[in-house]
Structure formats: C-alpha cells, structure tokens
Chains A and B, each alone.
Chain A
Amino acid sequence: MKKILMTGNEAIAEGAIQAGCTFYAGYPITPQNELIAYMAAHLQDRGGIFIQAESEIAAINMVYGAAACGVRVMTSSSSPGISLKQEGISYIAGSQLPAVIVNIMRGGPGLGNICPAQSDYFQATRGGGHGDYYCIVLAPASVQESFDLMRTAFELADKYRNPVMILGDGMLGQMMEPILAKGEGHMAYGNHKPYAISHKPKPWALTGCKGRKPNIVRSLYMAEGDLEKSNLKLQKKYKAIQAKEERWEEILVNDAEVVLVAYGSMARIAKAAVKSLRSKGKKIGLIRPITLWPFPNKIFWRLAVNGKRLTFLVIEMSYGQMIEDVRLALEGKAQVEFLGRSGGGIPTEEEIINKVREFADNNLTNSRTRELK
C-alpha cells in the first residue's frame, strides 16, 4: 500500500472522516489549525457537515446537539480553547453522549505560547469540567497512531456513550510523517451504506419520535434521588471502562532495572533514550500509556510486585502530572523519579540519559545510606 506524508493534525482529521465522523464544529487555534482546515476542505465533500463556529463554546454545544441526534461528532482545539469547552464536555458526559474532542496541547497557563506541551494532563484525565465524570483519554505518539486511534476513539465513545479525548501536543500535530491511510472503504458515503462501520443502532438518540415514545437527553435531574441514581450509573460505567480499556505499549520492561514512563511525543524521545542506553548494556525499558484515562495500572502493578528492585523515571512536558498516576498505580512499591520541562522546553534524549545515570549511580553508592534514613 502506498504511504502518504501527512501532519498529525491532518491524520487525525482524515482518521475521523474514515471512522465515520459526519459532524465537525470547531474554532481555529494554533497549533491545531491544520485539523480544522482539513475538515473544512474535505468533510463536506465526503458526506459530512463542517461548521466553523463563532467560538469554542458554540462549537462544543453544536457537538452536544449533534451527538444527541446519534451521529458521530467531533470538535478540536488547543489548550485555552479546550478550557472554554469544559462546560459543554461536562454536559455531554452528564447526558451520556458519545463525542470525540481533540486537544493538541500548547504551553500554558493562560494564553501561554504555541510550543508543544503536556500540561493539560490533569484537566484531561480528571474530567476537566464540573461534576463527577471522566473522559476516556487516548494519547497517540506518532502520525500513524494519530490516524489509527481515531477509529478506536469513535468506537469507544459509542460503546460507552461517553466523551473521548484525543490528547496530542503541538509537535505531534505539526510534524509530518509517512503513514498508511487505509482506503475509504468504510466511509459512510458514496456507494457505501451510511454508518457502514460498527454503527450500532442508537435507540436513545433523538431521531424524531414518530411511532415511539419521545427520547429525552439531559443532564438535569431535579427530582429527589434522580441525580444520585444517574451518577451511580455513570460510576458503574467508569468501573467497566477501567476494567476493560487500559491500553499501553511496553518495551523491554521484563528484565529492566529502570523503567521510563512517557506518553505522546515525549515517549518517542524516551524510546530513543532506551535504545541508546540498551546499546551500552543498561537494563532499561519503557512503558508508554496509550489510554491516560483509564490509566494502565495493570502493567505497573505487575512489574512492582515481582519482587525486583525497580526505579521508574516519569518524563513529561510538564512539571509533573502523570507522575501522580504512576505513584497511585505503584502504591509505594517502587522508587519514582521525575524529569520534566514545560513552556516550550522539551526534555532531550541527552537529558534523559543524564538523569538515568544520575540516580542509577546514586542508587549504587547510596542505597545503604538511603535505607538508614
């Protein structure tokens, strides 16, 4: 099959269209503009509806409405724009609607800058808006994976009737790599039946209630006990997602003494550091979480309880957010170190290698003194 050269942003848009996204609303912001531009150029021609909304808030609410009608919907933005969308995302979660939201992160806080960053991890994995809810969060690390995960994103959204967030960063969105973009065989247009991909019927959708009882989509539950009942339903769903949907990539972890933990663009650089250190005989591996929520606890627990002395080095383009999930997963059973930069700085391969050397050497020489403390 022929490869094509695409930016991460374009691959996400193409992946979404091929996954049957038929409604997109967005508002431009760097560094995700290629995504909305691609949607503007292609979605209409391929049977979907594209709207450049008047604001991020309008876009997410259009997505909310379209999702209630049972079609596959998406919006995208970058950090400050995603903050604006949080009220809408909370409503979508509360109303149990499937929707895909893409965040191509830039530096923050505030308007920050347009450099790549991973500083919205907390926001993405802890719901983000008000209320007790979670988004499923997927973190691609290459242009190919950005394309591939879109189908997963829409399927998970439909399966659990839950918002799914794609969490990328400016580097991933802007860079071009060769990818295999599958044909348009499962696209819902042309000679194909509408919703040819695993579009199961959505009996809850607002499709016109001729001949049936009206469906109601809402997040407002005023009667006594109703909201608690609805929330318990959500919690049951979250438990099921946590049990079934953890995804990660592990590289050379089984004999490792040091395990790097990184996601997205950062994981690529960490992988290069692993190769480099392995070639010098260091026992080092990498865990790359692909779902950030649910966080892949299983692999951490498996490594932590096998009795070996193990150090985890969490590397992020932030000052330490995912590290909290790593610590929670390990429950104190292993040492956790951290390397992070943000606001435009990206930890380099060299910095990772130096950091590993620093604490690995300390461990050898100071392990006894550390125990005495």
Chain B
Amino acid sequence: MSYELRVKTMTEKIIIAGSGGQGIMLIGKILAQAAMMEGKFVTWLPAYGAEVRGGTAHCMVVISAEEIGSPYIDKADTLIIMNNPSLSKFKARLNQDGLLIVNSSLVSLSASAANIKKYPFTDIAIKLGNIKVANMAALGCYLRNKKTVALKNVLAVIKEMASKGKKDVLKINQQALQNLLVADV
C-alpha cells in the first residue's frame, strides 16, 4: 500500500489547565473547531476525572498539518494556565522553547519559561462585566502569540456556538477575545 511520509512539521500541542467552571474544555473545543474549519488534523482530549466546579480540569489539543498519533501530550508547545494548582501540575510539561500563558489574577506561584506571557485574565473579564469570559481573554492572548488558527475562524466558531444563546453573550465573548489582540493591558 502507498503511504506518504512527511517530515514532522506544523504540529502544535497545547495543554489548557485551570479549575472546573473556568471554561477550560470550551476554549479547547473552540480551537479544535477552528482547526477543523481550516482542514487541519486535530484532536481534543479532556481530563475526565471526577472533576467538579472548583476542582482541576484540563484538556489537550493537538493541531497538525498531518495525521496525529497520540492525542495525549507529554511535552507541550503551549501551556495555558488559569490557576495555581495547574501551574504546579503542568509546568514541567512545557517544551524548552515553549510558550507559557499565565492568568496572573489567580496564579501567585512563580513561573519561568523561554516565552512567558502573564496577564490578569480574570480581572479583565470582571472589568468587561462577566468573570466567565476569562477563558476567552486567555484564548485571545494565545492567538496573538501563535497563529495556529486564524482569528476570523475562531470568531466564526464562537458565533456559531453562541447563536443558540443570547446576543450579549456573544458580544462579551468577542470583546474578551479581542481585548488582548488589540493592545497590551
């Protein structure tokens, strides 16, 4: 049988971690949907422990131009960390040249990485009027730093998801997402 061999390129491995209720799974799903729209290979793997609101939650997203082996990530290219326990759990799992995105509103522990971005996502969300959109602010920060998927596709996915709900929900999510795209906070 014919089997095309390609050099490993264009693979982005992202671990998103925080507490239950922060919308961790959701931003993973949005990235996955956007990648799918772009015709890329993508896997989304949730941590499905006995997670509850306030407990820990994480998901792993792999986006690639080629077929994906393991959806489970040993070493991530990007870590998006939304609270303290998640930082302790995953900080050793970042590639040497990886990108670390930290929610400084809730993370007090010190973190270091080759490429580190710290923003108060939770505070940004509160200022916008809904604490729940902290995840979108983090996603916006990620998209500013890595062009894994196009912003317009992410916006389209959010619109599709939110169309079932209220219009103001869509608006505040878009605001949160674009907050960090426009300017430094």
Min CB gap B126→A, angstroms: 31
Quick one: which of A256-274 are within 8 Å of B by CB? 265, 268-273
Min CB gap B33→A, angstroms: 6
A272–B70 alpha-carbon span in the complex (Å): 8
Shortest Cβ distance from A347 into B: residue: B70
Residues of A within 8 A of B74 (CB): 348, 350
Min CB gap B42→A, angstroms: 6
- The answer to the question of A252 belonging to the interface, with a C-beta cut-off of 8 Å to chain B, is yes
Min CB gap B130→A, angstroms: 25
A234–B50 alpha-carbon span in the complex (Å): 43
- A346-373 vs B, CB cutoff 8 Å, 1 = contact: the mask equals 1011100000000000000000000000
A114–B49 alpha-carbon span in the complex (Å): 7
Quick one: which of A1-45 are within 8 Å of B by CB? 3, 5, 30-31
Residues of B within 8 A of A176 (CB): 29, 32, 43-45
- The answer to the question of A206 belonging to the interface, with a C-beta cut-off of 8 Å to chain B, is no
A236–B184 alpha-carbon span in the complex (Å): 73
B33 touches A279 (CB 8 A): no
B3 touches A251 (CB 8 A): yes
- The answer to the question of A174 belonging to the interface, with a C-beta cut-off of 8 Å to chain B, is yes
Residues of A within 8 A of B3 (CB): 251-252
Min CB gap B8→A, angstroms: 7
Min CB gap A337→B, angstroms: 20
A170–B72 alpha-carbon span in the complex (Å): 12
A271–B71 alpha-carbon span in the complex (Å): 13
Residues of A within 8 A of B29 (CB): 5, 176
Shortest Cβ distance from A267 into B: residue: B69
- The answer to the question of B67 belonging to the interface, with a C-beta cut-off of 8 Å to chain A, is yes
Residues of A within 8 A of B43 (CB): 175-177
A272–B150 alpha-carbon span in the complex (Å): 27
- The answer to the question of B85 belonging to the interface, with a C-beta cut-off of 8 Å to chain A, is no
Min CB gap A121→B, angstroms: 20
Min CB gap B66→A, angstroms: 8
- Identify which of B8, B36, B46 contacts A276 (C-beta below 8 A): B8
- The answer to the question of B169 belonging to the interface, with a C-beta cut-off of 8 Å to chain A, is no
The chain A residues found within 8 Å of chain B, CB to CB, are: 3, 5, 30-31, 114, 170-171, 174-178, 250-252, 265, 268-273, 275-276, 278-279, 346, 348-350
Q: What are 6 A-to-B residue pairs whose CB atoms are below 8 Å?
A: A176-B32, A176-B45, A177-B43, A268-B68, A348-B74, A349-B69
Known: A251-B1, A268-B70, A346-B70. 7 other contacts (CB 8 A): A31-B48, A114-B48, A177-B43, A178-B36, A269-B69, A273-B69, A279-B8
Q: Which 10 A-B pairs have the closest CB atoms?
A: A272-B69, A176-B44, A178-B36, A269-B70, A175-B45, A175-B71, A268-B69, A269-B69, A251-B3, A175-B43
The chain B residues found within 8 Å of chain A, CB to CB, are: 1, 3, 5-8, 29, 32-33, 36, 41-46, 48-49, 67-72, 74
